[in-house]
Structure 1
Amino acid sequence: MTTTPARRRALVVRGGWDGHKPVEATDMFVPFLEDSGFDVRIEDSNAVYADREEMDRTDLIVQCVTMSEISPEALAGLIGAVERGTGLAGWHGGIADSYRNSSDYLQLIGGQFVTHPARHPDQREGGEADNFLCYTVDVTDLGRTHEIMSGVEDFTLRTEQYWVLTDDLNDVLATTTHPVQPYHPWHRPVTTPAVWTRAWGKGRVFVATPGHSLPVLRDTSVRTIIERGMLWASRTASE
């Protein structure tokens, strides 16, 4: 007699700044989650994090909320859920620039967006493309041994290149380097994480900084990394 494996539960929380298309972006990944054995619940508010019962039966949180706010109750619920084993995954500002005013959230995530350097002033036209640069995502030695990055080679994107502040608790799977330009004030190249994982209590956190737009999320390497990152972060039946 065979038994059907229990389906896992994924919670998609989306909102904040609409420029990152949180609805359309997360909708891209819902079919993948469902095909991977998840029942998916979608919420347009982070207030659900304060629901202890819901959090305890959630195996994976996929968050796409940029430049927003979170209540003390919701934040405590999110942190507590991850500490107890719920996975947390996201990309770009939806996870790395969600709640700027919360130091506890920043500690949980392990990185905070601070800027995306712009093009030369003479090339700027006043639109979002002023911040689009051609840059390389470089897989680290650790990344080459990790299941999330397996078979992924260094790749190039033309989009926002995130500069993030981070700490040493992150396991960095890929980096990107901001070069020295005569029109920028820094004086040497700066390398920052582009993809990382983080252990927090019994839970796992996954962050990928590429993902500004739907075309970037459709990039084969970016999409592969995000899909694998969500699966990696999720609580499993053995946990």
Structure 2
Amino acid sequence: MVERKALVVRGGWDGHQPVETTDRFVPHLEANGFSVRIEGSPKVYADADYMAGVDVIVQCMTMSTIEPDELAGLTTAVANGTGLAGWHGGIADSYRNSSDYLHLIGGQFACHPPKAEAERVGEQSDYFIPYRVNIRPEAAEHPIVAGIADFDLVTEQYWVLTDEYIDVLATTTLAAREFDPWHRPVTSPAIWTRQWGKGRVFVCTPGHNMDVIVHPDVTTIIERGITWAAR
């Protein structure tokens, strides 16, 4: 059996714990027959010869920037069959300087609503609110979410801007509270997939830090999403 290749690209904002969270999934990759290479920047995407042999990319790179040759290498690899998988800001809030990256992913972080002002203490926890992830009934048999029921989290709830060329597996509804500037609830994709050329893209918006990553349903969804996306 030929060993497949996985590339982990991690970095950006440290608050999302890119090292700790990606390390959580390296054993899963190895157990499924992948050799794993880890890089701390997207520079590797510009190496066309190497990228041609990558079967899946696990990216956790919040914000940061990407150069034109790096983005071209990433999009070419995915179009040719390399899978791309990630969670939270590591994939849905990466490379804000690039509209072409947004086009590839199909969704972009817009906000995570905070607690009421009186409850805020000036820390990340100001944005940790209770919410539910709802598995779409029509997606219930998809291999990424099969057997998983709706589940609750207390963490950042992502409002993402998306297009119609995504296949939504789960949603979350952001409330319209009396202090919010929006006036009605907004249902936003929470987990989705996207076909790009011959490649597959998987995005899971829950995953702010290890406290969320270790939630059994989040762990399972991400593990399945990575293997589903792989060539």
Sequence identity of aligned pairs in percent?
62
- Identify the residue that residue 38 of structure 1 maps to in structure 2: 34
- Identify the residue that residue 101 of structure 1 maps to in structure 2: 97
Q: Could you tell me how far 1:145 is from its partner in structure 2? A: 1.8
1:82 aligns with 2:78: yes
SS for the counterpart of 2:11 is: strand
Q: Could you tell me how far 1:141 is from its partner in structure 2? A: 2.0
State the alpha-carbon separation in 2 of the partners of residues 89 and 123 from structure 1: 34
Query: How big is the alpha-carbon RMSD for the aligned residues of Structure 1 and Structure 2?
Result: 0.6
State the alpha-carbon separation in 2 of the partners of residues 94 and 123 from structure 1: 27
Cα-to-partner distance string for 1:195-234 (whole Å, 9 max, x where unaligned): 0000000000000000001010000000000000000000
1:150 aligns with 2:118: no
TM score, norm. by length of structure 2 = 0.99
Cα-to-partner distance string for 1:123-166 (whole Å, 9 max, x where unaligned): 11111111000000000023202000010000000000000000
- Of 122, 125, 130, which residue of structure 1 is paired with 2:121? 125
- Identify the residue that residue 169 of structure 1 maps to in structure 2: 165
Structure 1 unaligned spans of 5+: none
- Identify the residue that residue 178 of structure 1 maps to in structure 2: 174
**Residues 142 and 172 of structure 1 are in contact (CA less than 8 Å); yes or no, is this contact kept in structure 2?**
no
State the alpha-carbon separation in 2 of the partners of residues 143 and 113 from structure 1: 22
The amino acid that maps onto 2:43 is: A
- Identify the residue that residue 21 of structure 2 maps to in structure 1: 25
1:49 aligns with 2:45: yes
State the alpha-carbon separation in 2 of the partners of residues 118 and 68 from structure 1: 23
SS for the counterpart of 2:195 is: strand
The amino acid that maps onto 1:175 is: T
State the alpha-carbon separation in 2 of the partners of residues 142 and 51 from structure 1: 39
State the alpha-carbon separation in 1 of the partners of residues 219 and 139 from structure 2: 16
State the alpha-carbon separation in 2 of the partners of residues 181 and 77 from structure 1: 43
Runs in 1 of length 4+ with deviation above 2 angstroms? none
